Amino acid sequence: MALTPQYDRSDFSLEDCPHENTEPLSPDDFEILKQIGSGGFGSVHKAIYKRDRSSWAIKKLERFTEGTSNILMIMNEIALLDAVDHPNIIQLFGFYLTDEDIHLVLELAPKGDLGHMLFRGNFSESKAKHFVLQIAEALEYLHENQIIHRDVKTLNVLLMNDDQIKLTDFGTATVVDSSGSTRGDVGTPYSRAPEIILKQSYSKNVDWWSLGVLLYELVTGQQPFHEGMSQIFHFSSLLNLLDLLSHLTDLTFCVCFDRLRSRQFRAQYLNFRSFFLFR
């Protein structure tokens, strides 16, 4: 896989963004049906591709003055999604530009994201394991290709009709060099690893930490840490993290968090080690 590090230039044009594996598209290619999501990033609409009547999700992002961090993140997402190919990572079909917006045409996930599904209640441990195994496979693929996602959370995990998951939102993802480490204060506060909060250099291990937070959230319906808490309280909570999990009789321990000590983790361990111990 030929990848370059995250964009850090200001002298670029969005039209020059690498997209060798995606289709050249225009607004006329699609019939917009309805809005299916929104957020700080913009909005998402369900659309029909007129040439073959296939269904896609169109993520509409406001097109600020080129050279801003917003455009850099969009370019980064396009380049990375164009380069990756994994069944548990969202597919980028292509993108097109209008005077005011950038439109990413993405694989449609009919069931939405895990974050909104949690509003209906937490998942069983067996269902959580089913989802986490798939996310871990996606992360291992990314890490093998020197990519760190850096924002693994329930809102960035989409669900297909057959309960296949799709990891999405690569705006803050980055490609690391041979050292395997990087810096940058990115990600969602409650799921960031301690290294990021401490503004230290970090590696792919930060994704496993975030996966552990996601796992806890799936099984309990709650976040182990909260965005509003002070950093001091956050760090004191880290010391007692396993106590937070102790009331889950079938969830003995999580090697996602334990990676802080071992520094070694692979997705295959989820199948062969005590990631979950079910009765």
Residues annotated within a binding site: 59-60, 107-109, 169
216 backbone φψ class: left, alpha, beta (φ>0; ψ -120 to 50): alpha
Per the DSSP assignment, residues forming a β-bridge with 130 are none
**Which spans in 198-239 are helix H?**
205-220, 231-239
- Distance (Å) of CA 96 to CA 49, 100, 123, 149: 13, 11, 37, 24
Residue given tokens 């090697």 in the structure block: 255
> CA 164 from chain center: how many Å?
15
Q: What crossing angle do the helices spanning 205-220 and 125-144 adopt, rounded to 10°? A: 160
Binding residue numbers for ATP: 59-60, 107-109, 169
Distance from C-alpha of 117 to C-alpha of 34, rounded to nearest angstrom: 20
Backbone phi and psi for residue 262, each to the nearest 5 degrees, phi listed first: -80, -30
Give the E-state strand segments of 54-112 in sequence order. 54-62, 92-97, 101-107
In DSSP notation, 101-116 reads EEEEEEE--TT-BHHH
Tokens of 278: 């079910």
Please check whether residue 204 is in contact with residue 143, taking contact to mean a CB–CB distance below 8 angstroms: yes
User: Would you please indicate which residues are annotated as catalytic (active-site) residues?
Assistant: 151
- Buried b / exposed e across 6-40, counting CB within 10 Å, b at 16+? bbeeeeeeeeebebeebeebeeebbeeeeebbeee
